[in-house]
Amino acid sequence: MRRLILLLNFFLLMCLFSVQAGAIRVTSGGQLDRADAQSDTLSAVYVCNDFNNVTIEFTGDASSSTILTWYEYDNTGAVPTVIQGEALNTLKITRGDKGYIVNDGRRNYWVWVVDYQNYLKKSRSVIVDPANSDQCNELILNTTGLSMGYFAPLSTVAGPIDLQLSLKYNSMEFNESAKAYLQKEETVSLTPGVNFKTNGNIILDDTELPLMDTKFTVVNDRFARKWNLNSDVVSSVTYTAVKVEVKVVHEHDPLHNEDNNMVRGEDVGSVEGTAPFDIVFNAYANKPAATYFSWSVLDSLDNKITASTDESLRYTFESGKYKVNLLVTNVQNSCEASYSESIDVSESGLKVPNAFSPNGDAINDEFKVSYKSLTRFKAWIFNRWGVQLYYWTDPSKGWDGKVNGKYVSSGVYFYVIEATGSDGRRYKLKGALNAFSDK
């Protein structure tokens, strides 16, 4: 019955009197710091490293009663108990992990005090929990002893204190200049309620998963850093990475940028051009987690035309549209990374001019065809009596109008051209060629 009366009286105080923040503060002769409380009911939360002359000071307004009543409560939800009922605005305390309330006859003011030494005595651990993790997209780390909280009166639910903890581990990232995945140290800030849950679980998302075997280490909290303590470091056992990541660099040999090629502008990064279109695809992955490589080249009908299990693929494309696919997996075949690139190679083409002016003025000095995607080419020049004057097999080349080092006379000459396109098209062209020369 007495407990029921106390409980009713305390609830009455809480209902009649509003809470005012900032009216009480904790002071100490030792190491003390204030923590942020995500609560509308607490005036403040303090963390003490020792209890050397720790007092709670109350500052009331002019209309406050001269009689102050002090209460103490814990995290069990029990009714706060009276510990001092005098006209004293200070309360000396000798222990933490307790809440303290002062009532001035009109309002309640309360504060929670954490004993940091009790926090340090906790058994700490960081344990990887792969069984409950989708390790390709998320990893859960179970921790103990790394949480600190506060309690409002009559509550058994802890409010989290942000210890500003950080998780450090090794991972890898692709280095463009080295063309390799290189080791780097990762640091993830642990935010209570976000990636650091109230049950002690740390959640790493897919962008934070390690790409190499590593240990996870939780470094000192904000209070240990401020007070130059070094007792809050805890590491997991070595975790075997399973996430796979790949970077593909393709290099094209731009053989067909000649001024008489119908399609120009190719460079080492081109995926469009004229045949024969030669590309080397180099796959760089986070080995040894990335183990198996599977390449495939598909035509426009998605028929597989070649495949490879090497880390690099070299292929010469003829006319048409293609798709290059890569799948990289780990040794368990549980995680994968993929790459896909479309290749567009022009159909063949061949056009022949009917005149040129071989006179050395650098304007239309050479008889050259316009072409694209040819795999075979032969060309002959004859005079009107059928005498062969010139022969060549490279479509990017041409005839400069010279025979035995001298320009031919102006007049009509004849060409014969035979060629084959990469698309199988055959060309056989004959025609007259007008040469205008003043040499």
Q: Where are the domains of the chain?
A: 2-118, 122-235, 246-345, 349-435
Average the pLDDT over 44-54 and give the result: 91
Q: Is 426 helix (H, G, I), strand (E, B) or coil?
A: strand
Domain 349-435: give its CATH code: 2.60.40
Percent of the chain having pLDDT more than 70? 90
**pLDDT at position 64 over 70:** no
Q: What is the pLDDT of residue 61?
A: 61
pLDDT at 231 over 50: yes
Q: What are the backbone angles phi and psi of residue 117, rounded to the nearest 5°?
A: -65, -35
- The predicted-structure confidence for 131-144, as pLDDT tens digits, reads as follows 888 999 999 999 99
> Could you read off the pLDDT of 138-179 as tens digits, one per residue?
999 999 999 899 999 999 998 889 999 999 999 999 999 999
Mean pLDDT (whole number) for 278-289: 96
Phi first, then psi: what are they for 284, rounded to 5°?
Answer: -120, 125
Q: Report the topology of domain 246-345.
A: Immunoglobulin-like (2.60.40)
Mean pLDDT (whole number) for 255-284: 82
pLDDT at position 15 = 32
* Mean pLDDT within 361-382: 93
pLDDT on residue 136: 95
Question: Average pLDDT for residues 202-229, to the nearest whole number?
Answer: 94
Report residue 92's pLDDT band, with 50, 70 and 90 as the boundaries: very high
Residue given tokens 């102050």 in the structure block: 68
pLDDT band at 14 (very low <50, low <70, confident <90, very high): very low
Q: What average pLDDT is seen over the chain?
A: 88
Please tell me whether residue 309 adopts helix, strand or coil conformation: coil
Whether residue 428 is predicted with pLDDT greater than 80 in this model: the reply is: yes
Fold for 2-118, please state it.
Answer: Immunoglobulin-like (2.60.40)
Which residue has better confidence, 196 or 256? 196
pTM reported for the whole predicted model: 0.77
Cα distances from 136 to residues 143, 200, 332, 339, in angstroms, run 21, 21, 12, 17
With 0-12 CB in 10 A as exposed, 13-18 as middle and 19+ as buried, what is 251?
middle
- pLDDT attached to residue 369: 95
On the question of a common fold for 2-118 and 246-345, the answer reads: yes
Q: What percent of the chain has pLDDT over 90?
A: 67
